């Protein structure tokens, strides 16, 4: 994704720090940075920065810039960081433009045969993966995101059904009032995500962003979308798609 030219990381670091609102706490910045940048930050004191929040953003971005990661990986992680920090709008778009145009490149589907025991379910999931690609190509971003949530739920349920004893033994498994674990078809997507993480099938960062995707999936209800003023663009869809891909990679690796 994005241009092959190296962005001006220092300009982005300074400008992004100035743009972050006071309503964003230091803890929130650190949480988003850890989940998206996935590096150990180094201190880069800047004489012209007086805000703790701005200095923290500067440290994280410059640490990424000076890391040994491939350039495209740096830009991809920084894009996630920007989307996590800034609400959808012109400011976010301006920063993403500094990284180059965001393109949603179709990717190969995971090996669903490793994830599900039911061949019919595997075919259903594969077709949903293909339909998401078509939605992205058609710039039908809301439809794509709703389908992503549906795909994630279908895969997680299939994996849980393949590991019933381990799933039922998880502390985060949903229970009835009398303490019994609920039937699998009664589990919510949130339940599935938490159990998958507890069982070690998905990493912490994937769990956190999967929970965000769960909220986006609820935009299938028009009233909910109006209440949240949620109008996803290519960048939002790109981030959600990365979440799905990461979750699939984790699940295949643990299968």
In tens digits, the chain (255 residues) has pLDDT values of 333 468 899 999 999 999 997 778 999 999 999 999 999 999 999 998 999 999 999 999 999 999 999 998 999 899 889 989 998 777 887 888 788 654 555 567 888 877 887 888 888 988 999 899 888 878 888 899 889 988 999 999 988 988 999 999 999 999 999 999 999 989 998 999 999 999 999 988 888 878 878 777 777 778 767 877 777 888 788 888 888 888 888 888 766
Structure token pair of residue 203 = 């990493």
Is 109 buried (19+), middle (13-18) or exposed (0-12) by CB count in 10 A?
A: middle
Place of tokens 């960081």: 81
Asked if 17 contacts 187 with a C-beta cutoff of 8 angstroms, the reply is no
- What CATH number labels 112-254? 1.20.120
CB 160 within 8 A of CB 187: yes
Q: Say what the pLDDT of residue 112 is.
A: 82
pLDDT at 4: 45
CA dist., res. 205 & res. 189, Å (int): 16
Burial readout 112-140 (b: 16 or more C-beta within 10 A, e: otherwise): beebbeeeebbebbeebbeebbebbeeeb
Structural domain spans, the chain = 9-99, 112-254
**Scanning the structure block, which residue is given the tokens 């743009």?**
19
* Number of residues in the chain: 255
For position 183, what pLDDT does the model report? Answer: 94
Tokens of 197: 């993480």
The reported pLDDT for the residue numbered 2 is 37
> CA geometry: angle at 145 spanning 242 and 193, to 5°?
65
- Closest alpha carbon to 63 in 19, 100, 131, 12: 12
**Residue 107: per-residue pLDDT:** 66
CB 149 within 8 A of CB 216: yes
The three-state secondary structure class of 181 is strand
Burial of 235 (0-12, 13-18, 19+ CB in 10 A): buried
């Amino acid at each position: 994704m994005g241009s092959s030219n190296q962005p001006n990381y220092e300009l982005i670091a300074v400008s992004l720090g100035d743009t972050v609102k006071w309503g964003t706490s230091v803890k929130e910045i650190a949480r988003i940075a850890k989940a998206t940048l996935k590096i150990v930050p180094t201190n880069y004191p800047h004489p012209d920065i007086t805000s703790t929040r701005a200095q923290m953003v500067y440290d994280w971005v410059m640490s990424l810039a000076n890391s040994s990661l491939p350039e495209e990986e740096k830009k991809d992680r920084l894009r996630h960081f920007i989307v996590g920090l800034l609400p959808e709008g012109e400011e976010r778009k301006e920063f993403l433009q500094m990284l180059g145009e965001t393109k949603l490149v179709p990717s190969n589907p995971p090996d669903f045969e490793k994830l599900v025991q039911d061949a019919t379910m595997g075919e259903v999931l594969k077709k949903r993966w293909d339909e998401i690609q078509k939605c992205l190509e058609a710039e039908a971003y809301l439809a794509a995101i709703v389908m992503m949530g549906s795909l994630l739920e279908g895969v997680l349920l299939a994996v849980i059904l393949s590991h019933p004893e381990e799933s039922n033994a998880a502390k985060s498994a949903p229970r009835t009032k009398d303490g019994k674990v609920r039937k699998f078809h009664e589990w919510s997507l949130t339940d599935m995500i938490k159990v998958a993480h507890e069982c070690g099938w998905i990493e912490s960062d994937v769990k956190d962003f999967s929970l965000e995707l769960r909220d986006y999936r609820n935009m299938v209800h028009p009233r909910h979308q109006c209440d949240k003023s949620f109008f996803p663009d290519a960048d939002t869809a790109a981030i959600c798609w990365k979440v799905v891909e990461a979750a699939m990679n984790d699940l295949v690796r643990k299968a």
